[in-house]
Amino acid sequence: MAVLDKLGFQQEGRLRKQDYVRGAYRDRLLFGLLADEHER
């Protein structure tokens, strides 16, 4: 997540208990970046 923050992405949502990994449910985080917020 540090990489996404550094690139300017914003966390827009969390899907709770979305994925089942190694015997436990995990949350899935959703990130987004608007075109006008993107820097090159």
Q: Is the pLDDT of residue 28 over 80?
A: yes
* Res. 10: pLDDT tops 90: yes
Domain extent, residue 17, equals: 2-37
The whole-model pTM stands at 0.73
Number of domains in the chain: 1
Angle at 37 between CA 36 and CA 39, to 5 degrees: 100
Task: Report which of residues 38 and 7 the model is more confident about.
Answer: 7
Tell me, what's the pLDDT at 14?
97
Q: Are 29 and 13 in contact (CB under 8 A)?
A: yes
User: pLDDT class for 40, splitting at 50, 70, 90?
Assistant: low
**What is the pLDDT averaged over residues 10-27?**
97
